[in-house]
Structure 1
Amino acid sequence: MGAKIREIPAQLPRNFDRPDEPWHHYLTIDLIAKVFDYTILHPWVSWIVVICLRSQLTPYEATEMRVAFVWAILMTLRSMFGLINDKLAYGTPREVDLSEEVIVITGGVEGLGALIAEVYGMRNANVAVLDTKKVDLEEAEEKGIVYYECDVGDAKQVEEVAKEIVEDLGAPTILINNAGIVHVKSLLNSTAEEVEQTFRTNTLSHFNTIRSFLPYMITEGRGTIVTVSSVLGHLGAANLSFYTASKAALLAMHSSLRAELSQHPTGQDIKTILVTPGQMSTKMFNGVKTPSNFLAPIIAPVDVAKEIISLVEKGESGDVTVPLYSKYIQFLGILPLGMQVLVRRWCGVDRAMVDAGLVKGEKTKPAEKL
């Protein structure tokens, strides 16, 4: 008899939890952009068009041949510019072998963090999850994940857990800072304790984990640090003042971290990934609607997880900006103030929490974890 195969529990997406949507609901600008990237904007496809025209004996002087040539050259230059830009911005990718990596994920019991942790757990990687929520030992063994009960907003707790992880799994080389909470309240309704709790979990936790785990990465001469922020860090929003402020702080922190690692003598092979997703279909903002499903679709956490995992395993630095609008949202800041007011009114970012029924005077929604 061969060795017994370990059964891994898997919960498939339950489509019946979502209402049936018409076909055009799934037609978004993100889908169109992806199709274009793999077709008319792809250099190989552009040159295939030129080859096809020549196979039909189309003269070089013909208008369609000239247009195809110019387009293929432009798409090639565009692709080369992208490669050079990424090289200058992020450097050379590092080699990633999951069998030799130790992955630490904060806030990995639910939501986006849980998805990433379970994917790596199923692949027999060394995964440590830091969360305040307890997980049954049997469930942890089934998922192939080691859970540590830890408040990542407490520096001393993180330092102690870091020693345990090194002892149990080895030196951490991949850190995914995902923990986050939200209080849906107006600034006037907030309390000092709620503001402090939000910043401890959403912002200070990143400083605590980086201080604790980065020295091991520097010693190993390799590593990856993932910072999960939010598109709201660029925008701000009514009734989310301290949540958006805590996420905005991460944008500056991550830029400073990149700059410091670029100057460190052994920091070249420590990669950094900044994640600024739009609205995800998690319970954190359940019921909140975007102004346009075509321009600003609500994204599934699995789509964000795939982008993060892809960059981590390629050993690259980079930015995860999904859906498409989150990549260009910073351009809103260069518009005249009057235009910014009109755009905010149209998109409803400052009414979203009220319209979703999450803000009701003094009765506010309790904090929820990612």
Structure 2
Amino acid sequence: MPLDATPPQRDSWFAPLSIDLIVKVLKTSFFHPFIAWIVPLCFRAQNMFWDAPPMLVSIAWATLISLSWIAATINERVAFGLPREVDLSEEVIVITGGASGLGLLIAEVYGMRGATVAVLDVAEMENGEARGVTYYKCDVTDKDQIARVAAEIERDLGTPTVLINNAAIVIGKPLLDLTFPEIERSLSTNLLSHFYTLKTFLPALARNERGGTIVTVSSVIGTVGAAQLTDYAAAKAGISALHRSLAAELRQSHPKIRTVLVTPGQLSTPLFYGVQTPNRFIAPVVEPVDVAKEIIAAIDHGKNAAIGMPLYARWIDWYHVLPVALQAIARRLAQVDRAMDTFVGRKGLKRESSKEGPLIEDL
């Protein structure tokens, strides 16, 4: 599909407005303990008595907000435990699919901050070379190539301490149009490669006295599914289940290894180029830099985490709690099963930019 076949999305004046932006503003204002306690202090500065109704209401609100923040902190500590010690000068970070998009962004940030970064990809890095980043040409669907590159990384850079499984491809065809080789390639890249990299790099992470971190980049599509994404949805559901099961195993066998599950909505990367966002207010397109910030923060603090972006991604599991009739209505209203009708993807971009030679899709 040529690029000019993609219907342009006309931005209105309120296009930047989304439920995520509203919630972010509320969390830093009305729902923030500091701001909440400012109100009764201002009342007191006006010589209002402590038993005055406005004073009592404002104190009750500030107390409720403070208790909610304390409960959230306790909930996170109980669920994820204590963080591990992180020293970027001693971290060796391995990123699959790091030659472009989200993976490249994380690699460049850590490279500039003094960490040692190894990027694994079948495609050359978009920016050529980046400071602190070493590129290794590797097909993560090939167990032998992964083993060879892992040995090279340990020899050249040191023992890996962080593994970010980010490699992915999107074919974007209905099941009846998918060929068996396409199905195998999709599942190998999006699912089996996680088993291969984990089996290869996990022993090195387990040897580190300070522990390590495993980051799995999944998708909300693995929870809700979508038309023309049967292979992708199956793989993403698989790696989410893999991650949760592995996290349970590591809590018992290697408690110093931290796990981070990332479940984003539609990312603004070439992987889903051309996909029309059904509802920008409820489901805004996520910028890679925002997801990268959350992943980097989790790794830096050495903690377990479950990252969902945008807001609806954090609550997407409740979708299956709804009655099936409401699920069907929600799908029709969201038009999630029509979003891929205008899909172009990375291959379409390449076809427009270069008319010569066969196309090899990046991870």
Structure-1-length-normalised TM-score: 0.88
Partner of 1:311: 298
Alignment equivalent of 1:57, drawn from 47, 65, 68: 47
Separation of aligned partners in 2, 1:305 and 1:19: 25
Give the C-alpha shift of residue 33 in structure 1.
0.6
Partner of 2:326: 339
User: What is the identity percentage for the equivalent residue pairs of Structure 1 and Structure 2?
Assistant: 50
287-296 or 111-120: bigger deviation: 287-296
Q: Please say if residues 123 and 362 of structure 2, whose CA atoms lie closer than 8 Å, have aligned partners that are also in contact.
A: no
Partner of 2:354: none
Q: 1:288 to 1:135 in 2, by over 3 A?
A: closer
Separation of aligned partners in 1, 2:190 and 2:11: 34
Give the C-alpha shift of residue 94 in structure 1.
1.4
Give the C-alpha shift of residue 143 in structure 1.
3.3
Residue 32 of structure 2 corresponds to residue 45 of structure 1: no
Alignment equivalent of 1:154, drawn from 142, 145, 151: 142
SS of equivalent residue, structure 2 residue 84: coil
Aligned residues: 343
Separation of aligned partners in 1, 2:161 and 2:339: 39
Q: 1:352 to 1:22 in 2, by over 3 A?
A: closer
Alignment equivalent of 2:362, drawn from 339, 348, 369: 369
Residue 251 of structure 2 corresponds to residue 258 of structure 1: no
Q: 1:288 to 1:72 in 2, by over 3 A?
A: same
Instruction: List runs of 5+ in structure 1 lacking aligned partners.
Output: 1-17, 360-364
Q: Please say if residues 183 and 367 of structure 1, whose CA atoms lie closer than 8 Å, have aligned partners that are also in contact.
A: no
18-27 or 242-251: bigger deviation: 18-27
Give the C-alpha shift of residue 42 in structure 1.
1.2
Separation of aligned partners in 1, 2:360 and 2:229: 12
Which digits, 9 at most, give the CA deviation of each residue in 1:33-83, with x for residues without a partner?
111111111112212222222222211221111111111111111111111
Q: Please say if residues 276 and 340 of structure 2, whose CA atoms lie closer than 8 Å, have aligned partners that are also in contact.
A: no
Separation of aligned partners in 2, 1:53 and 1:89: 39
SS of equivalent residue, structure 1 residue 59: coil
Q: 1:61 to 1:367 in 2, by over 3 A?
A: farther
Give the C-alpha shift of residue 135 in structure 1.
4.6
Structure 1 segment 45-124 matched on structure 2, within 5 A: 45-124=35-114
Q: Quote the RMSD (CA, aligned, Å).
A: 2.1
Give the C-alpha shift of residue 295 in structure 1.
1.1
Give the C-alpha shift of residue 369 in structure 1.
3.4
Q: 1:107 to 1:274 in 2, by over 3 A?
A: same
- Look up the equivalent residue of 2:280 and give its one-letter code: N
Partner of 2:214: 225
Separation of aligned partners in 1, 2:230 and 2:300: 35
Give the C-alpha shift of residue 272 in structure 1.
0.7
Q: Please say if residues 121 and 144 of structure 1, whose CA atoms lie closer than 8 Å, have aligned partners that are also in contact.
A: yes
Separation of aligned partners in 2, 1:171 and 1:91: 25
Give the C-alpha shift of residue 260 in structure 1.
0.5
Q: Please say if residues 181 and 367 of structure 1, whose CA atoms lie closer than 8 Å, have aligned partners that are also in contact.
A: no
Residue 313 of structure 2 corresponds to residue 326 of structure 1: yes
Alignment equivalent of 1:200, drawn from 164, 188, 207: 188
Partner of 1:209: 197
Separation of aligned partners in 2, 1:144 and 1:94: 23
SS of equivalent residue, structure 1 residue 143: coil
Which digits, 9 at most, give the CA deviation of each residue in 1:275-332, with x for residues without a partner?
1111111122112122221111111111111111111111111111111111111111
Give the C-alpha shift of residue 110 in structure 1.
0.9
SS of equivalent residue, structure 1 residue 273: strand
Separation of aligned partners in 1, 2:244 and 2:29: 34
Give the C-alpha shift of residue 128 in structure 1.
0.2
Give the C-alpha shift of residue 236 in structure 1.
0.5
Partner of 1:285: 272
Structure-2-length-normalised TM-score: 0.90
Residue 286 of structure 2 corresponds to residue 299 of structure 1: yes
Partner of 1:13: none
SS of equivalent residue, structure 1 residue 130: strand
Q: 1:340 to 1:300 in 2, by over 3 A?
A: same
SS of equivalent residue, structure 2 residue 228: coil
Q: Please say if residues 233 and 248 of structure 1, whose CA atoms lie closer than 8 Å, have aligned partners that are also in contact.
A: yes
Separation of aligned partners in 2, 1:66 and 1:273: 42
Instruction: List runs of 5+ in structure 2 lacking aligned partners.
Output: 1-7, 346-350, 352-358
Separation of aligned partners in 1, 2:123 and 2:17: 38
SS of equivalent residue, structure 1 residue 179: coil
Separation of aligned partners in 1, 2:135 and 2:277: 35
Q: 1:153 to 1:77 in 2, by over 3 A?
A: same
- Look up the equivalent residue of 1:103 and give its one-letter code: I
Give the C-alpha shift of residue 101 in structure 1.
0.3
Residue 226 of structure 2 corresponds to residue 237 of structure 1: yes
Q: 1:146 to 1:367 in 2, by over 3 A?
A: closer
SS of equivalent residue, structure 2 residue 55: helix
Q: 1:124 to 1:19 in 2, by over 3 A?
A: farther
Give the C-alpha shift of residue 102 in structure 1.
0.2
Residue 169 of structure 2 corresponds to residue 181 of structure 1: yes
Separation of aligned partners in 2, 1:336 and 1:243: 25
Q: 1:179 to 1:350 in 2, by over 3 A?
A: same
SS of equivalent residue, structure 1 residue 181: coil
Give the C-alpha shift of residue 351 in structure 1.
1.4
Separation of aligned partners in 2, 1:231 and 1:284: 15
Separation of aligned partners in 2, 1:28 and 1:193: 40
Give the C-alpha shift of residue 217 in structure 1.
1.4
Q: 1:154 to 1:357 in 2, by over 3 A?
A: closer
